[in-house]
């Protein structure tokens, strides 16, 4: 088969199974689940893979599913990823009445579009023609939410990292993977009657989260000399952060935005337990790490000044995305193939996502494909064009895969040989995630 014939056969298989792909997506949409709790969602994906006849590994990072599909040769392994989790938007029409979870970020469409890719790979016969393997991945917990619950999971040893892709990296899921592509559903509604429908993604900010506890010593508020005031320590810490702001450089767009979540226990007791949370955001890893170290130093200064204790829990947030221009070229070619040259663009927006964490160790494209209307993470977010959100998304993913892996996998090998990873997996885990190097990973 020529590449064109393979793409035509794959897209035809997606069209033949359109009803099933859309029904799966709609079913997930109506039963939203939050990160690391996507058990019903995971069961639906597994049932679809069973029907297709693809063997898969489940329970990866609690609810994740890995589906390896072998090509004719094994020169490259391409991951095609979709997410499983919802966000909290209790007034969304299909919000879970108990948890408030709602699919107002489009991850249900991602999950179903990867099943669309599975139908295409199974029924089109392209795997007998491709010179690389494809690993379909359904990943949990993209949204950085329910931090207290996820910290419980960490304390129980269920996971070690808060984001699903971060945990996939730690578990070694990507160890035999060379590159990854995925898509996120975006809004296409607007004033333009024929809007841009897709883009190949772009840069965004990264962040580190911190939970801070100041421990002082209680005493009667009328006898403060017998206590240690943890609130005063926190105030000095916050002032010391502010004093450091003039050292942050404009080009790095550092944002530090602490809040006090507990200021004391009783007004007539010297505060001995004060809690803060903050993010440290920025446009480069080094700048975020540099600012993060200054914030830690400032927070500790408050404790030192008062003779209190400061415990800082680092929560590795999502790293700054690193782009592979060569992989983006192949994705853009296939966006043009599916949507038409004037209905897509090469560079688009990129928010904070843990797909960025994968992008520092291998080539990644996190594209955006239309089909939704409303504001993301809000109650009015709905898919209005299923032929885009589910079907065109699946076609773009599979056609990109065909382009990469056809003809001796020459395009994938070109992408791989031109990619200089900013970090190794070990550097990512130790430098960014603050995990001690050891037998855990
Ligand atoms: Zn999202």
- As a whole number, the mean pLDDT across the chain is 94
What is the pLDDT, as a whole number, of residue 316?
Answer: 83
- Tell me the CA–centroid distance for residue 143 and ligand 1, in Å: 7
Percent of the chain exceeding pLDDT 90 equals 82
- Tell me the CA–centroid distance for residue 106 and ligand 1, in Å: 6
Between CA 282 and CA 291 the distance in angstroms is: 9
**By C-alpha distance, which of 103, 63, 62 is closest to 86?**
103
What is the pLDDT, as a whole number, of residue 204?
Answer: 82
What is the pLDDT, as a whole number, of residue 205?
Answer: 87
In degrees and rounded to multiples of 5, residue 208 shows phi and psi of: -115, 135
Contact 142, 417 (CB under 8 A): no
Between CA 424 and CA 361 the distance in angstroms is: 6
- Tell me the CA–centroid distance for residue 163 and ligand 1, in Å: 12
Contact 421, 177 (CB under 8 A): no
DSSP characters over 307-344: T-EEEEEEE--PPPP---HHHHHHHHHHHHHHH-GGGE
The residue to which tokens 């975020």 are assigned: 288
Summarised one tens digit per residue, pLDDT across range 350-372 is 677 899 999 999 999 999 999 98
- Tell me the CA–centroid distance for residue 375 and ligand 1, in Å: 12
- Tell me the CA–centroid distance for residue 105 and ligand 1, in Å: 4
Question: What six digits make up the tokens of 152?
Answer: 């419980």
Summarised one tens digit per residue, pLDDT across range 261-286 is 999 999 999 999 999 999 899 988 88
Averaged pLDDT, 310-339: 94
The single-letter DSSP state of residue 429 is: I
CA distances from 161 to 117, 176, 436 (A): 28, 20, 13
Summarised one tens digit per residue, pLDDT across range 411-420 is 999 999 999 9
User: If pLDDT is split at 50, 70 and 90, which confidence band does 437 have?
Assistant: low
Question: What six digits make up the tokens of 399?
Answer: 């056609």
- Tell me the CA–centroid distance for residue 409 and ligand 1, in Å: 30
Helix, strand or coil, per DSSP, at residue 183:
strand
- Tell me the CA–centroid distance for residue 84 and ligand 1, in Å: 10
List, in sequence order, every beta strand (DSSP E) within 140-178.
none
Question: What six digits make up the tokens of 6?
Answer: 């393979």
Averaged pLDDT, 403-412: 98
Question: What six digits make up the tokens of 186?
Answer: 């975006």
Summarised one tens digit per residue, pLDDT across range 188-247 is 766 676 788 999 988 788 898 899 999 999 999 999 999 999 999 999 999 999 999 999
What is the pLDDT, as a whole number, of residue 191?
Answer: 66
- Tell me the CA–centroid distance for residue 207 and ligand 1, in Å: 16
- Tell me the CA–centroid distance for residue 278 and ligand 1, in Å: 22
- Tell me the CA–centroid distance for residue 185 and ligand 1, in Å: 8
Burial label for 267, CB within 10 Å (0-12, 13-18, 19+), is: exposed
CA distances from 4 to 10, 61, 322, 328, 402 (A): 10, 37, 30, 20, 9
- Tell me the CA–centroid distance for residue 313 and ligand 1, in Å: 25
This prediction has a pTM of 0.86
Positive or negative CA dihedral for 71, 74, 7, 332? positive
Residue 373 has pLDDT above 60, yes or no: yes
What is the pLDDT, as a whole number, of residue 441?
Answer: 46
- Tell me the CA–centroid distance for residue 346 and ligand 1, in Å: 20
- Tell me the CA–centroid distance for residue 192 and ligand 1, in Å: 24
**By C-alpha distance, which of 223, 231, 379, 357 is closest to 288?**
357
List, in sequence order, the alpha helices (H) in 172-247: 230-244
The residue to which tokens 């006849």 are assigned: 53
What is the pLDDT, as a whole number, of residue 189?
Answer: 63
Residue 58 has pLDDT above 80, yes or no: yes
Please indicate whether residue 336 or residue 313 has the higher confidence score (pLDDT).
336
User: If pLDDT is split at 50, 70 and 90, which confidence band does 341 have?
Assistant: very high
Averaged pLDDT, 380-384: 88
- Tell me the CA–centroid distance for residue 351 and ligand 1, in Å: 9
- Tell me the CA–centroid distance for residue 210 and ligand 1, in Å: 22
- Tell me the CA–centroid distance for residue 64 and ligand 1, in Å: 16
Q: Which residues sit opposite 277 in a β-bridge? A: 211, 259
Between CA 237 and CA 231 the distance in angstroms is: 10
Contact 368, 184 (CB under 8 A): yes
- Tell me the CA–centroid distance for residue 103 and ligand 1, in Å: 9
- Tell me the CA–centroid distance for residue 72 and ligand 1, in Å: 34
Spatial neighbors of 186 by CB under 8 A, at least 6 apart, are: 106, 198, 199, 348, 368, 369, 370, 371, 372
Contact 421, 361 (CB under 8 A): yes
Averaged pLDDT, 84-90: 93
Burial 306-317 (b: 16+ CB within 10 A, else e): bebbbebeebbb
What is the pLDDT, as a whole number, of residue 33?
Answer: 97
List, in sequence order, every beta strand (DSSP E) within 121-268.
133-139, 179-187, 198-199, 206-215, 255-256, 259-262
Q: Which residues surround ligand 1, an ion (CB under 5 A)?
A: 105
- Tell me the CA–centroid distance for residue 342 and ligand 1, in Å: 25
User: If pLDDT is split at 50, 70 and 90, which confidence band does 439 have?
Assistant: very low
Length of the chain: 441
- Tell me the CA–centroid distance for residue 79 and ligand 1, in Å: 18
* Range with the largest mean pLDDT of 66-70, 195-199, 380-384: 66-70
- Tell me the CA–centroid distance for residue 378 and ligand 1, in Å: 12
Helix, strand or coil, per DSSP, at residue 69:
strand
């Amino acid at each position: 088969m020529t590449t064109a014939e393979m793409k035509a056969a794959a897209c035809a298989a997606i069209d033949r199974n359109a009803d099933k792909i859309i029904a799966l997506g709609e079913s997930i949409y109506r039963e939203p689940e939050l990160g690391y709790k996507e058990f019903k969602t995971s069961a639906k994906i597994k049932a679809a893979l069973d029907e297709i006849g693809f063997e898969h590994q489940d329970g990866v990072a609690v609810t994740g599913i890995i589906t390896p599909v072998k090509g004719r040769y094994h020169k490259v392994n391409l991951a095609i990823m979709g997410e499983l989790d919802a966000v909290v938007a209790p007034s969304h029409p299909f919000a879970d009445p108990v948890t408030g979870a709602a699919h107002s970020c489009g991850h249900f469409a991602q999950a179903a579009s990867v099943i669309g890719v599975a139908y295409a790979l199974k029924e089109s016969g392209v795997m007998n023609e491709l010179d690389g393997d494809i690993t379909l991945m359904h990943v949990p917990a993209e949204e950085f939410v329910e931090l207290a619950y996820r910290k419980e999971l960490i304390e129980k040893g269920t996971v070690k990292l808060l984001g699903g892709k971060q945990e996939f990296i730690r578990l070694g899921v990507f160890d035999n993977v060379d590159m990854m592509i995925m898509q996120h559903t975006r809004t296409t509604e607007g004033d333009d009657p024929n809007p841009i429908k897709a883009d190949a993604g772009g840069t965004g900010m990264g962040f580190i989260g911190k939970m801070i506890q100041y421990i002082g010593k209680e005493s009667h508020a009328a006898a403060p000399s017998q206590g240690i005031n943890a609130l005063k320590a926190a105030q000095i810490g916050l002032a010391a952060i502010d004093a450091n702001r003039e050292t942050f450089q404009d080009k790095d767009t550092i944002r530090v935005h602490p809040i006090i979540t507990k200021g004391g226990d009783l007004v007539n007791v010297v505060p001995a337990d004060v809690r803060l949370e903050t993010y440290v955001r920025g446009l480069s890893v080094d700048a975020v790490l540099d600012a993060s170290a200054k914030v830690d130093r400032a927070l500790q200064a408050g404790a030192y000044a008062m003779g209190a204790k400061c415990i800082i829990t680092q929560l590795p947030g999502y790293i700054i995305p690193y782009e592979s221009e060569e992989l983006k070229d192949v994705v853009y070619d296939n966006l043009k193939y599916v949507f038409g040259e004037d209905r897509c663009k090469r560079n688009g927006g990129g928010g904070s996502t843990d797909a960025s964490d994968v992008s520092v160790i291998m080539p990644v494209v996190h594209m955006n494909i239309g089909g939704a209307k409303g504001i993301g993470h809000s109650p009015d977010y709905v898919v209005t064009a299923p032929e885009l959100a589910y079907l065109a998304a699946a076609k773009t993913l599979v056609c990109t895969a065909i382009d990469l892996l056809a003809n001796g996998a020459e395009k994938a090998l070109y992408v791989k040989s031109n990619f200089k990873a900013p970090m190794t997996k070990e550097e990512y885990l130790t430098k960014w995630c603050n995990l001690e190097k050891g037998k855990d990973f």
